[in-house]
Amino acid sequence: MREYLLYLGCTTPVRLPSYEAATKAVLSKLGIRLLDFKDVTCCGAQYIESISPRAHIGLGGRILALAESQGKDVLAICGACSGSLKHSKHILDKDKGMRREVNSMLREEGLKYTGNVQVKHLLQVLRDDIGYEHIRKAVTRRYSGVRLAAHYGCHVTRPYDIVKVDDPENPRVIDEIIECIGATAVDYPDKTRCCGGPLLAMDEELAALIGADKIKNVRGVGAEGIVTACVFCDIHLSQIQIGDDEVPESRVPIITLPQLMGLAYGIDKESLGINLNRISPEGILGTLQEGVGQ
């Protein structure tokens, strides 16, 4: 059985614990063992990175060295975390001087970075370790007729040369999985565009506008929900639809990929934290066909 250290990052456990719960439930169902990753810090993506790129690589290096000390690869489920850890690894594997500097900092804790661990995003584990075939076969309740839009976010797929997840201009993994579990994946304009979330700290209004564009485009093609694989995207796309001006009926439900999959595997709503979704995905759930497997 394949094992990973589950790197949660800062945001998932606090703001989107259902993503964590659903990931654990679904991966254990599909034969992946997740281990708690103790004593890790924030990956430093964006916030630390924008102030001190070296400190950012230092944080990443420490996280990776901790994984090395346990001899396990790392699974990151947040787009920013997976991007950031892969970026740190890329620099440390390439830049000997930086590796020396980071290792001299790590010595205090008895850690050392040698480059022996891999960092994977959830989408890679689903596609490469488990495979579409198995994902399809494990289904016990298929979705039927529901049209869903995949949202990939920025850091999961870019830059390809470093993260190596999927074609950033034409990503397919989430769409394939949506189809595997019986729903219909729909294409929409600007599919690979940012959710707007990272701009929140600088320009809240612009961040909301970018997100609203996405919702408009998804609604335009008649999709009944958006499927995410990044904590920031999920939170932001939900949040911008909730406000005084928004009509509750016209909200597009946002659901994380493992939640969507979990329901098709017969995992109960409670374990997947469906009740925590800010926009109810009941419309999507309603299309599940009881007792219909693959």
Placement of tokens 């630390």 in the chain:
48
Q: Which stretch binds other proteins (CB under 8 A): 46-54, 183-191, 254-262, 264-272?
A: 183-191
Shortest spacing between CB 188 and other proteins, in angstroms: 11
Let me know the angle formed at the C-alpha of 288 by 282 and 289, rounded to the nearest 5 degrees. 150
Applying CB under 8 A, does 192 fall inside the site for other proteins?
yes
Shortest spacing between CB 169 and other proteins, in angstroms: 4
**Footprint of other proteins on 195-254 (CB under 8 A):** 220
CB atoms within 10 A of CB 276: 12
Shortest spacing between CB 178 and other proteins, in angstroms: 18
Please give the Cα distance from 171 to 169 (Å, whole number). Answer: 6
Shortest spacing between CB 171 and other proteins, in angstroms: 10
Q: Which stretch binds other proteins (CB under 8 A): 45-53, 143-151, 182-190, 253-261?
A: 182-190
Whether 80 and 52 have beta carbons less than 8 Å apart is answered as no
| Peptide bond connecting 168 to the previous residue in cis, omega within 30 degrees of 0 | no
* Choice from 17, 189, 222, 286 touching other proteins (CB under 8 A): 189
Give SS3 for 33.
Answer: strand
Whether 82 and 156 have beta carbons less than 8 Å apart is answered as yes
Whether 129 and 2 have beta carbons less than 8 Å apart is answered as yes
Number of residues that bind other proteins (CB under 8 A): 8
Shortest spacing between CB 190 and other proteins, in angstroms: 7
Applying CB under 8 A, does 170 fall inside the site for other proteins?
yes
Q: Which stretch binds other proteins (CB under 8 A): 9-17, 49-57, 188-196, 254-262?
A: 188-196
Please give the Cα distance from 197 to 199 (Å, whole number). Answer: 5
Q: Which residues contact 182 (CB under 8 A, 6 or more apart)?
A: 139, 142, 143, 144, 264, 289
Which x/- pattern, by CB under 8 A, does the window 131-160 give for other proteins? -----------------------------x
Residues that bind other proteins (CB under 8 A): 160, 169-170, 187, 189-190, 192, 220
